[in-house]
Amino acid sequence: MCGMRFQFNQIKATQAGAHLLKRNGGNMDMYIWIKMLYLADKESMFKWEEPITGDSIASLQYGPVLSTVYDLTKGDCPTLREYWQTYISDADCEANRISLKADPGVRDLSKAEIKILDSVFEEFKGFSFAEMKSHIHGLPEYEEVGGGSKDMPVEHLLRTNGKSTEEIQEAEKGHIQMRVAEMLFTKT
């Protein structure tokens, strides 16, 4: 097996991030916000073997993050910024805040995905940086990487959180079948 790779969905990622910001009055501590998005994607992976955003995961000093979302908050990823920057600000480095610029709505998110986002928001909305860091560092998939970064394969996330090799292989087969079906039925 070659590993599960998902396609980053900039519209769903933007709508998910904006939904959390909207729930918090329009802005939020960037660290708390990016961890909430990660936790929502993780929960989605365990429910449906598919993340909400389609983003890949990287382990950083302060725990796992959604790679592309993290880069977008820093003003990177020029080919993906057009939609994103209409709705979500770059991170304010001095205040470490991220803000909602406009509401993109949630039409590309399913009701179940919105429910996950709302559940994660409710659980972690009152967390401080230190509390969130402690929670994230306690997750089974957390890896100490020092000041660097390391890609986190989906299989590692699933395995360290209790999925068996057989369950992971079944998830990967289902993922491949979905991608083949999408290629066959998507018009070019």
pLDDT in tens, 146-162: 888 899 988 888 788 77
Position 50 confidence tier, pLDDT thresholds 50, 70, 90: confident
* DSSP conformation class of 148: S
Position 1 confidence tier, pLDDT thresholds 50, 70, 90: very low
Q: What angle do CA 117, 127, 156 make, to 5 degrees?
A: 60
Residue 183 has pLDDT above 80, yes or no: no
pLDDT at 171: 67
**How many CB atoms are located within 10 Å of the residue 61 CB?**
11
Residue 100 has pLDDT above 90, yes or no: yes
* DSSP conformation class of 90: P
| pTM attached to this predicted model | 0.88
Position 91 confidence tier, pLDDT thresholds 50, 70, 90: very high
Query: What is the rounded CA–CA span in Å between residue 54 and residue 42?
Result: 11
